[in-house]
Structures are given as structure tokens and as C-alpha cells.
Structure 1
Amino acid sequence: MAGGSGPLDRVRALCLALPETTERLSHGEPTWFVRGRRTFVMYAERHHDDRVAFWCAAPPGAQEALVAEAPGRFFVPPYVGHRGWLGVWLDVPVDWAEITEIITDAYCVVAPKRLTAGLGG
């Protein structure tokens, strides 16, 4: 991946590759927005514990299914978990193809349909 090989660099590259996305700090962590307004991914580096993760919007039912299937890789994040957001641990072995799909799905949940056409989310 261009721009670095650490988890933050990789998440950043995936998020910024999507149409009309921007990054800025929110609550002290890198956060990505669609058209500068709608949050779709929030990075969480040791935010509440000594873990590295990101939190993202998720399609209906995805949070419950993924957390039940692989609780060592996925979790219900604080603050936004009640809205169906998904937490993804990045301090465990990571399948970056799967992370790409999860981030694309998060984008598709919040972005206008015109921007998501052809993304497959």
C-alpha cells in the first residue's frame, strides 16, 4: 500500500481512495468523512484500552453477525455500537482484502447513492 505499511497508513489509504472523502481529527483520533460531514470510519489507537482498532458504519445485521462469528477480530464499539457500528481489531492478524470490503461497506452505508454507484457495497 502506498503511504506506509502500518495499520493507520493502510486504513487511511483505503478510506481516502473512496470518492469525496476527507480526514480530520475527531475526539483526538483520525476520522474519515464523506463530503466532510458524514463519518464512516474512526481510528481508535489505544483509545479506551491498549488495543488498536477502527470503528465503522456497517450495513444492518453486519455487526451482530461478525461479532458472533469472530469476537477475537470484531467487537461492538463504545458510543456508536448501539447504532450498529462495527469495531475491527487491527492488533491481531488482519485480512486486508476483508478490511477493504468492510471499509467500502461503511462508506456505502453513509454516502449518497450517486457516489456509491459501482463500488459494490
Structure 2
Amino acid sequence: MAHPRMFDDDDPVLGRLREITLTFPDAAEKVSFGIPAFYTTKVFAYYGGSEKLDDGYVRHGSSVLVLADPVELPALLAEARCYLPMYLGVAGWVGLHLTDHTDWDEVRELVDTSYRLTAGIRRVKRLDDGR
């Protein structure tokens, strides 16, 4: 059984995230577990995630999940705008709520880091070379 679709293609926040993620070398989008996933050979960002709570879980539809720099992860998780996503959090991923006050330059930096940690040496070189 397929997962239900948990996003709207016309969501302007998703559109803004697509503008960032799809500029990276060989980046593509697919639907994984009902949410948009941005990937090369490995996923480097998801749109939307869930957080485990003591009494269940909460869905964060308007958020981005990225693989964080291990040095930056504790500082990100200390902020209210970030959360530890279910399943991926144990592997170093973090969720960032996307709001009207989102710093999109920061989102691009976080996505860039995640891309660099997942895309492989050749793609990162292409990114650095501007191709």
C-alpha cells in the first residue's frame, strides 16, 4: 500500500524550497513516503516530517529536513524552530520549520551542507566549480 500524499504541489513554501534544492548538480525530486524528497543518489532534503512525542507524534508539514553538520547539530536542536525528526534524527538529520520569517539564505546553507554530505566527491566538485 502506498503512503498517502501529504503535500500540495501548489504550496508556495514548497515552491521556494524547490528553487533552492533543484539548482544543485544532478538534483531531482521524487515522492517518498508521501512527501517530496530531493536527491542525487541519496536524499539530501525532504519537505515535511514528523516528530515523536511522549504521547504519539506530530506532523510538521511546512518544514525541511536536512542532514546537519555534526558540529552544528546541537546548536540547531537547541532552537525552538528546529526539531529532531522521527527515524532520521538518530542519523544526524534535523527539521527546520518554514514560516513567513524563514531566512531562506540559511535554508540554502543547510541544504548545501546536506548535499555535500550525501552527493559524493564528483558532484561536490561540480558544485564548487559552478557547473
Give the TM-score normalised by structure 2: 0.76
User: Can you give the 5+ residue segments of structure 2 that lack an aligned partner in the other structure?
Assistant: 1-9, 52-57
Q: Quick one: structure 1 residues 53 and 33, their matched pair in 2 at CA, closer, same or farther if it must change by over 3 Å?
A: same
Q: Quick one: structure 1 residues 45 and 64, their matched pair in 2 at CA, closer, same or farther if it must change by over 3 Å?
A: closer
Q: Kindly indicate which of the two structures has a greater share of residues assigned to strand.
A: 2
CA drift of 1:49 comes to 2.7
How many residues align structurally? 112
Any conservation in 1 of the 2:50–2:85 contact (CA below 8 Å)?
A: no
Which contiguous aligned blocks of 4+ residues in structure 1 show a shift greater than 3 angstroms? Answer: 45-48
In the alignment, the residues of structure 2 paired with residue 11 and residue 45 of structure 1 have an alpha-carbon distance, to the nearest angstrom, of: 14
Q: Does 1:79 align with 2:87?
A: yes
Identify the residue that residue 70 of structure 2 maps to in structure 1: 60
Within 5 Å, give how 1:81-100 maps onto structure 2: 81-91=89-99, 93-100=101-108
> Percent identity, aligned pairs only?
28
In the alignment, the residues of structure 2 paired with residue 45 and residue 84 of structure 1 have an alpha-carbon distance, to the nearest angstrom, of: 14
| RMSD value, Cα | 2.3
Aligned to 1:55, what secondary structure does the other structure show?
strand
Within 5 Å, give how 1:95-106 maps onto structure 2: 95-106=103-114
Q: Quick one: structure 1 residues 19 and 79, their matched pair in 2 at CA, closer, same or farther if it must change by over 3 Å?
A: same
Any conservation in 2 of the 1:41–1:106 contact (CA below 8 Å)?
A: yes
Give the TM-score normalised by structure 1: 0.81
Highest Rg: 1 or 2? 2
Q: Does 1:49 align with 2:59?
A: yes
In the alignment, the residues of structure 1 paired with residue 102 and residue 123 of structure 2 have an alpha-carbon distance, to the nearest angstrom, of: 27
Q: Does 1:10 align with 2:16?
A: yes
